[in-house]
């Protein structure tokens, strides 16, 4: 890769940025409601080689020559892109960092490579955004990024950066990719951002398999529709419980905080919610509030009760999964993963026929538990096996196993 950099740009790279992908073990579509999640960083990663330029430009190139190079003249006022190309993810991280630093926009060259499968639910897009933000910080500080910003601040900044490419996420991807420690999964809580390393049982192994169905969540509105449906269910549930400040609520955790109810109690309270709302009914519920994203304003209907049930039950499963890890209770971990997939598939409707088939096939092959991972609508499944399973032979080819991975280190910068 260093040789390619020299050939393309006519100078040697000065720094290397590595940012892993991540697999979410449990806790899907709940981070943007403020609930904790439990991912682990992967050994597959995005790598950026960078070097300062004397010219007023940022030059983006990709090892994969099917991605067209891009040159961004600076100073640039680039802000947002809702139908992103590959380099827009890099610009998103750059723009957020420049805004935070109030920096002067130094020119630099970037060569990107990635072993994180794209659109597979392994957070390849966040890996690009985080890597670019750290690359920008490295250039602006002349190789001393951690002298002005720690990894917690970097993760928080990157949460906002990804909104520049149209996804209203909650921060799990960026936190896991920036803050993970080698050998442990990461329990992530939000508002404020807090992390706790979670040791996994030594006799378990996680395998990631590809459904071969790709979905770019930034190029469709299914993901943002779930965000909006969660906001609507928050308002309706808060109203039904007589919470006075319902107009300020947008996340289901706000209902729990204000009501003092347990997750189990809130699951029961969801029965008062309607299953569906028409667009007109949704607008009436909001009164003078606006919870829509730009790409959901024309939706004809919204699902309410099932979405809230998924969020509260999934949040409860995360708590139970962490307890099971600490108790080395692999059977309980597997049960919770299976329940999670059922909820994602039926209640949150973020699975797909191919993903459901893959999960079933993994269980038939000996997985104790298996579930979709990532936003869904295609992408990957993660499966829990006993660690000695590989000794029984290779997995059948139809399972499309990408890798089995140990928990990896978060984002890093190396001077070359």
Residues acting as catalytic residues: 173
From CA 129, how far away is CA 159, in angstroms rounded?
A: 9
Scan for tokens 């609930």, then name that residue: 35
From CA 130, how far away is CA 168, in angstroms rounded?
A: 16
- The backbone torsions φ and ψ at residue 26, rounded to the nearest 5 degrees and listed phi first, read -165, 150
Give me 65's structure tokens: 């020559």
From CA 371, how far away is CA 38, in angstroms rounded?
A: 14
Scan for tokens 């969020």, then name that residue: 311
Q: Where are the alpha helices (DSSP H) in 28-123?
A: 86-101
Confirm if 411 and 8 have CB atoms less than 8 A apart: no
- Please state, in angstroms and as integers, the Cα–Cα distance from residue 230 to each residue in 167, 235, 299, following that order: 15, 9, 15
Q: Which of 266, 236, 263, 240 is nearest to 249 (CA)?
A: 236
- Please state, in angstroms and as integers, the Cα–Cα distance from residue 320 to each residue in 21, 56, 263, 333, 359, following that order: 25, 53, 12, 8, 21
């Amino acid at each position: 890769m260093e040789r390619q950099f020299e050939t393309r740009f006519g100078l040697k790279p000065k720094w290397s940025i590595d940012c892993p992908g991540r697999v979410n073990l449990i806790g899907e579509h709940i981070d943007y409601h403020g609930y904790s999640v439990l991912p682990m960083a992967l050994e597959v990663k995005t790598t950026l080689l960078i070097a300062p330029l004397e010219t007023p430009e940022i030059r983006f190139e990709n090892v994969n020559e099917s991605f067209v190079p891009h040159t961004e003249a600076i100073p640039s006022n680039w802000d947002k892109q809702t139908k992103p190309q590959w380099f827009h993810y890099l610009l998103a991280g750059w723009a957020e960092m420049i805004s935070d630093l109030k920096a002067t926009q130094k020119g630099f060259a970037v060569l990107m490579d990635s072993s994180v499968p794209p659109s597979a639910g392994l957070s390849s897009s966040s890996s690009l955004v985080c890597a670019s933000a750290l690359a920008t910080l490295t250039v602006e500080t002349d190789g001393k990024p951690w002298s002005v910003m720690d990894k917690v601040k970097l993760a928080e900044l990157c949460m906002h950066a990804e909104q520049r490419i149209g996804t209203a996420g909650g921060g799990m991807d960026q936190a896991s990719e920036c803050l993970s420690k080698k050998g442990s999964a990461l329990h992530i809580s939000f508002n404020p951002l807090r992390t706790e390393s979670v040791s996994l049982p030594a006799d378990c192994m996680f395998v990631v398999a590809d459904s071969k169905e790709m979905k770019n969540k930034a190029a469709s509105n299914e993901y943002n529709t779930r965000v909006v449906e969660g906001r609507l269910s928050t308002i309706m549930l808060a109203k039904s419980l007589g919470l006075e400040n319902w107009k300020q609520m947008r996340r289901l955790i706000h209902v729990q905080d204000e009501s003092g109810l347990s997750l189990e109690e809130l699951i029961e309270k969801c029965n008062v919610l309607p299953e569906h709302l028409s667009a007109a009914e949704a607008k009436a519920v909001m009164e003078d509030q606006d919870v829509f994203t730009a790409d959901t304003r024309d939706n004809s209907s919204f699902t309410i009760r099932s979405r809230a049930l998924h969020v509260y039950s999934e949040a409860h499963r995360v708590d139970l999964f962490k307890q099971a890890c600490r108790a080395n209770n692999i059977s309980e971990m597997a049960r919770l993963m299976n329940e999670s997939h059922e909820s994602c598939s039926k209640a949150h409707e973020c699975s797909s026929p191919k993903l459901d088939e893959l999960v079933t096939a993994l269980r038939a092959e000996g997985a104790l538990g298996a579930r979709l991972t990532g936003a869904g609508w295609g992408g990957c499944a993660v499966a829990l096996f006993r660690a000695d399973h590989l000794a029984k032979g290779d997995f059948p080819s139809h399972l499309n196993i990408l890798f089995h991975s140990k928990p990896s280190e978060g984002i890093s910068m190396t001077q070359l």
